[in-house]
A and B are shown apart, each in its own frame.
Chain A
Amino acid sequence: MKAGWEVVIGLEIHAQLATRSKIFSGASTAYGAAPNTQACLVDLGYPGVLPVLNEEVVHMATMFGLAVNATVAPRSVFARKNYFYPDLPKGYQISQFELPIVEHGELYITDDEGRDKRIGITRAHLEEDAGKSIHEGLERSSGIDLNRAGTPLLEIVSEPDLRSAKEAVAYMRKMHSIVRYLRISDGNMQEGSFRCDANVSVRPVGQQELGTRTELKNLNSFRFVERAINFEIDRQIEVIEDGGEVVQETRLYDSDKDETRPMRSKEESHDYRYFPDPDLLPVEISPEYIETARQQLPELPTAKKRRFTDQYDLKPDDADLLTGSRPLADYFEAAVAATGAKPQLVANWVIGDLSGALNRDSLEIADSKVSATELAGLLTRIHDNTISGKIAKQVFEAMWAGEGDADTVIDAKGLKQITDSTAIEAVVDEVIAANPGQVAEYRAGKEKLIGFFVGRVMQATKGQANPGQVNQILKKKLHD
């Protein structure tokens, strides 16, 4: 970004809540059903129907409020947000306006300098999703699928505390991780279960007053959030530096062209005429209810990261990676519990070879072809010197390919490490005898050559000699 400018960003995140049924009806929320097979009379806005609130969404919103250190409102109210669009059958969306269920929360992110930064959460409110309009393949019509209508959403609104696209992404990732830890949303971005709008403005450094903001829509991946915001920052600075003015408008991000453009030039100003929905009574949440929910809170990413660095003595970056998702953290802890190997070694393997293999096969940790116990079995064999770390990689690949557990693979392939010092000494003697020139150089002071000798011994033993022992024996013999 250009020097002399400051960026101000606030995010609105829509997290789809992972309920079985809709927020106000008993229709299913399962993804991918044939069009309109999960849209009942309530979702279709038929006359005479009444919405009845799903108790699970209240519970989920409460858990969320507690997780971000917010106030869970003792009394909250649903309101109608009025606008016309074909995928909104009632002509209004049931949302919350003046009295949302969650207010005044906070979230800590790591800023660009690696420090903790507090991001305020203004509010989080419950609302229903709209249906989906389909334009492709239809000549003079649009098709409407109302399966999604009435799906519960939690809209999480941040304070304008974010100062760069990177911070916005860090905030969004943290929020993504929290809703998944709480198991209140599956966070699936391809299916639209976790999406984001960004309010972006720029101002000269030192200026108090905020610049005119634009709202960016359609940001359904972490990468797009970063790119769209960066494009928009540059665009706004250019407009102002050219003597123009930023227009307050809604802009769509086009990922193909990597640019934002205004949604509609003559869009009428928003006038939603919110009012309390007479079909729904106020929602009351008792202190006892909140206390019960507090007992059910899982350990959250920040606390888990702190515990991982303290209890397992992990590098902070590794603890951060491992606690990014709850299943990954659980996998790590299960593996640590099942082996005597050092937790940092387990962490290296989970972050390295295991994550690499998962990525390669596009698998989630839950579908890993090597279980936590199996990985622990492999690491135990490194720990007790049965195999070297290098051979272990070979064993891991065989395990991944379904050739059995670590011991089976080691036996079948004859990969057991040579720890018999007589055997190693014999090989070392051969290597020394075969390379008189290098031996002379080494003895004359070129100690870097130790690597050469280790390499030759490992080659001769097909990598199965214990590297520590090889080093020790080589040094002893070369110094004789």
Chain B
Amino acid sequence: MSLSKEQVRHIAMLARLKLTEEEYAESVQKLSKIVDFVDQLSAADTRDVLPMAHPLHAVQRLRPDVVTETDERDYLQENAAAVADGLYLVPKVIE
């Protein structure tokens, strides 16, 4: 296995996933397979290859600095689970 259970546990924590022991076992196997698959690229000689940031050979288009959006708060907050005084409410964040 190219990934250890500890590594998978770390990845799950970063992704905020709560997995059962069975799911861990399965994830270690499946994720290792994916990593092994991608690892084949390491065999290629990339000494003269520039790292690719994007598959398209194009350059970022720029937008003029103009305010084009209007206030749609009421409409957008219809999707929210909880709002108060214009704020989106979330479970208490402890700092």
Contact = CB atoms under 8 A, between A and B. Distances in A.
A26 B60 contact: no
Interface string B55-95: 01011111111111101110011000010111111111101
A280 B77 contact: no
Most chain A CB inside 10 Å of its own CB: which residue of B60, B84, B89, B92 = B60
B93 A25 contact: no
A276 B92 CA distance: 32
Contact of B93 (A26, A35, A39, A135): A135
Nearest to B90: A86
Interface residues of A, number: 51
B34 interface: no
Contacts of B64: 55-56
Contacts of B77: 36
A268 B88 contact: no
Contacts of A146: 88
B34 to A, nearest CB: 15
B53 interface: yes
A253 to B, nearest CB: 14
Nearest to B77: A36
Contacts, number: 124
Given A55-B62, A55-B64, A77-B53, A25 B69 contact: yes
Contacts of B67: 20-21, 26-28
User: How large, as a class, is the contact surface on chain B?
Assistant: 35 or more
B6 to A, nearest CB: 13
A150 to B, nearest CB: 10
Q: Which secondary structure characterizes the binding site on chain A?
A: loop
Interface in B31-63: 51, 53-54, 56, 58-63
Interface in A409-463: none
A447 to B, nearest CB: 70
B71 A140 contact: no
A199 interface: no
Which secondary structure dominates chain B's binding surface?
loop
A56 B76 CA distance: 28
Given A25-B69, A135-B92, A53 B86 contact: no
A39 B72 CA distance: 8
A141 B90 contact: yes
Interface stretch (A107-115, A161-169, A281-289, A378-386): A281-289
B13 interface: yes
A278 B85 contact: no
B68 A37 contact: no
Nearest to B52: A276
Nearest to B89: A141
A133 interface: yes
A54 B88 contact: no
Contact of B87 (A36, A99, A140): A36
Contacts of B84: 138, 141, 143
Interface core residue of B14, B67, B68 (most chain A CB under 10 Å) = B67
A19 interface: yes
Contact of A34 (B53, B76, B86): B86
B16 interface: yes
Given A26-B69, A135-B93, A141-B91, A53 B63 contact: yes
B88 A36 contact: yes
B76 to A, nearest CB: 7
B68 A144 contact: no
A56 B65 contact: yes
Contacts of B61: 52-53, 281
Given A44-B76, A133-B93, A144-B87, A284 B69 contact: no
Given A141-B91, A141-B92, A282-B54, A271 B63 contact: no
A186 B40 CA distance: 51
A182 to B, nearest CB: 16
A140 B90 CA distance: 9
Contacts of A145: 86-87
Which 6 interchain pairs have the tightest Cβ spacing? A26-B68, A143-B87, A55-B62, A56-B65, A35-B86, A40-B69
9 contacts: A19-B65, A26-B69, A36-B73, A84-B16, A98-B51, A99-B53, A140-B91, A143-B89, A276-B54
Interface of A: 19-21, 25-28, 34-41, 44, 52-56, 58, 77, 82, 84-86, 98-99, 133-135, 138, 140-146, 263, 268, 271, 273, 276, 278, 280-284
Interface of B: 10, 13-14, 16, 51, 53-54, 56, 58-69, 71-73, 76-77, 82, 84-93, 95
